[in-house]
Structure 1
Amino acid sequence: MQNLLTDIAGVRVGHADDAALASGVTAILFDQPVVAAIDIRGGGPGVREDALLDPVNTVERIDGIALSGGSAFGLEAASGIQAWLAERGRGFAIRDALIPIVPGAIMFDLLNGGNKAWGRYAPYRELGYAAAAAADTTFALGSVGAGLGATTANLQGGLGSASATTRGGIKVAAIAVVNAVGSVTVGDGPWFWAAPYEMDGEFGSRGLPASFTPDMLAMRIKGGPAASASENTTITLVVTDAILTKAQAKRLAMMAQTGMARAIYPVHLPLDGDIVFAAATCAKPIEPLVELSELGMVAANVLARAIARGVYHARPLPFAGALPSWQDRFGS
């Protein structure tokens, strides 16, 4: 176990980003099509193919997922991943036609100091293709891929991942691009809201403060009173090797959303676009009540850890006025 999304067999992750742009794309590829669903709790989401993931709709499985910066421009990242998959004969078959199914989600990073004067067409389709080509069973965390330009209310955001195994031997892992309107840390200190779920010192072993003051519980949001509904969004994916239906994958995504509430304060605001994709590679049978409930519980814990790890591993952007990273303020 690498404590990464790719601890689930048949899953690969690739990044492509541009330092001058201060933005990028992360591609998640599945060696075989997977059952998938989505749950959206924030008020300002940006998604592609979300309707297809509804349990009542026809297509059962998907080939990949795109996570991207760039706001609505970044939805083109999925087209690049789709092109890479099409070249390799992947896709949903309709007679002789093959259509790679690649849902995607985006977050807003257009005002982070990077050069967004890209001309007629944004670069996200090509970044998506490059991310797919780079996909592997290990990948970097922090200021990479879709997490390069991410921010939170008080610190640089980033891309994180984590994994775990249930008592019954079912694996579940998460990846998160943390661009929250709220904060991932408590007050002005080094403590992560997700501290109770930390494993093996994966984000600094700082625990929680001895007590909570009113100031720690006050609302800290990106931009303060001038915050914009377009400037945020935490986009995530949880993957399991359990055999799930689309309806069960939807329930898993809903349960995993609890992990955002454990890691970000405040969360699910009108200013956010908080999204959880859930996917199942369908390798191991699972009992549909108690075991599925435990899987959702563990998935929420794993997602909380992935969010904290994204901020823990981030590095500041090299622009005037950029937010500090957790490592800058609290690292040793």
Structure 2
Amino acid sequence: MSSPTWPARAGAITDVDGIAVGHFTDPRRPTGCSVVLARGGAVAGVDVRGAAPGTRETDLLAPSNLVERVHAVMLAGGSAFGLAAADGAMRWLEEQGVGLDVGFATVPLVPAAVLFDLPLGDARIRPDAAAGYAACAAATREAPAQGNVGAGAGAMVGKVFGAARAMKGAIGTASVRVNGVTVGALVVANPLGDVVDPATGRVIAGARTVDGRALLDTRRALLAGEAPRPILAGTNTTLAVIATDAAITKAQAHRLAQAGHDGLARTINPVHTMSDGDTVFALATGLATAPSPGMMVLATMAAEAVARAVLQAVWAAEAVSVGALQLPAARDFARP
């Protein structure tokens, strides 16, 4: 394997005014959580395409439901156990006086989604409320760390033919700016399928050949008749948060989350499977001084930001070895 070359940073979700990001990475095993904070509140939407999601507070984001603005989105490893990280975010935000004033208390609204990373190390170690609190306390407006951190610490890519032939996934971020308006994305890439560079059609991370020395191309292998391994539902999932400083409605935020899935479809194959819980959130702070370019442009920007963030995630990933499981990273297969 030769020296790797991978893309330079492509911006960050924190380029959006009003957005901060914090990670907590558990030192005891590869797992963690990542929070996207909008302390001033953000109009929010969500779209769930995977058939095996693990989510919290997504129903309140339906366009027909009452509450429009949320204060954070929590992404976590640990499968369903990781949803507890949102409790810590609520506690931290309440201490900051951030939330919905209901007269008797200030209630922070923190939707959340989780991914499955339990095969890496001791599955009894997973993000909890303390982890979510720590992620919030660490949040800044600086460009967030990428790779094997936060919710991406235990992410894997390309498990159709078994974890032993998979590669390391991770977390990545990117942003796009058009005429004074910014759309950014934070993505945790933990898909069942491969990650593909849409510019070249080349698989850059995913299932490997039986000897582990080369990338297989899952799509071609399945179409050629190679049988997938039995896959437990919910043991995968790519999570994304889109943010923009444009002023949009809750219904438009829902449409923006839908458009974000186009970015996943460009870069992940197969995507939205019965064993993935793919979930995309959208946040709009409305703090841009420039006028909104309209939904056609914003949706195009959202899909592009998500696609770039997926690529950033796998290029930033680093190989890990946990017990008998050896997971190389995209950079290990890169060519100059």
Q: TM-score, normalised by structure 2?
A: 0.85
Aligned residues: 302
- Quote the residue 1:292 is aligned against: 295
What do residues 185-230 of structure 1 show as CA deviations (whole Å, max 9, x unaligned)?
Answer: 4xxxxxx2x3369xxxxx9xxxxxxxxx99863339xx93211112
Distance 1:317 1:90, change over 3 A: same
Query: Hey, what does 1:155 align to over in structure 2?
Result: 167
Q: Is the 8 A contact 2:148 2:317 kept in 1?
A: yes
Unmatched 5+ stretches in structure 1: 186-191, 198-202, 204-212
Match of 1:243 among 235, 240, 247: 247
The structural deviation recorded for 1:59 is 1.0
Alignment of 1:73 with 2:81, yes or no, is yes
1:181 aligns with 2:195: no
Counterpart residue number, 2:12? 4
Q: Is the 1:68–1:74 Cα contact (8 Å) retained in structure 2?
A: yes
1:265 and 2:269 aligned: yes
Residues 137 and 219 of structure 1: is their aligned pair in 2 closer, same or farther, counting only changes over 3 Å?
farther
The equivalent of 2:320 in structure 1 is: 317
- Contact 1:149 1:317 (C-alpha < 8 Å) held by counterparts: no
Cα 1:31–1:115 change in 2 (3 A) is same
RMSD: 2.2
Give the secondary structure class of the aligned counterpart of 2:167. coil
Q: Could you tell me how far apart the structure 2 residues matched to 1:51 and 1:35 are?
A: 14
Q: CA deviation at 1:331?
A: 6.0
Tell me how far apart the structure 2 counterparts of residues 175 and 266 of structure 1 sit (CA, whole Å).
Answer: 20
TM-score scaled to structure 1, two decimals?
0.86
Say whether the 8 Å CA contact 1:5–1:11 is kept in structure 2: yes
Quick one: which amino acid aligns to residue 79 of structure 1?
D
Deviation at 1:329, TM superposition (A): 2.2
The equivalent position to 1:115 in structure 2, one of 109, 122, 128, is 122
In 2, the alpha carbon distance for the partners of 1:216 and 1:132 equals: 39
CA distance in 2, matches of 1:67, 1:243: 24
| Structure 2: gaps (5+ residues) | 1-8, 159-165, 205-215
Q: Aligned partners of 1:77, 1:250: CA distance in 2, in Å? A: 24
Task: Assess, with a 3 A threshold, how the Cα gap between structure 1 residues 8 and 196 changes in structure 2: closer, same or farther.
Answer: farther
Structure 1 stretch 2-11 or stretch 32-41: which is displaced more? 2-11
* 1:145 maps onto 2:145 in alignment: no
Distance 2:277 2:334 in 1: 28
The answer as to whether partners of 1:155 and 1:311 remain within 8 angstroms in 2 is no
After superposition, what is the alpha-carbon deviation per residue over 1:223-249, rounded to whole angstroms, capped at 9, x for unaligned? 932111121000101000110110010
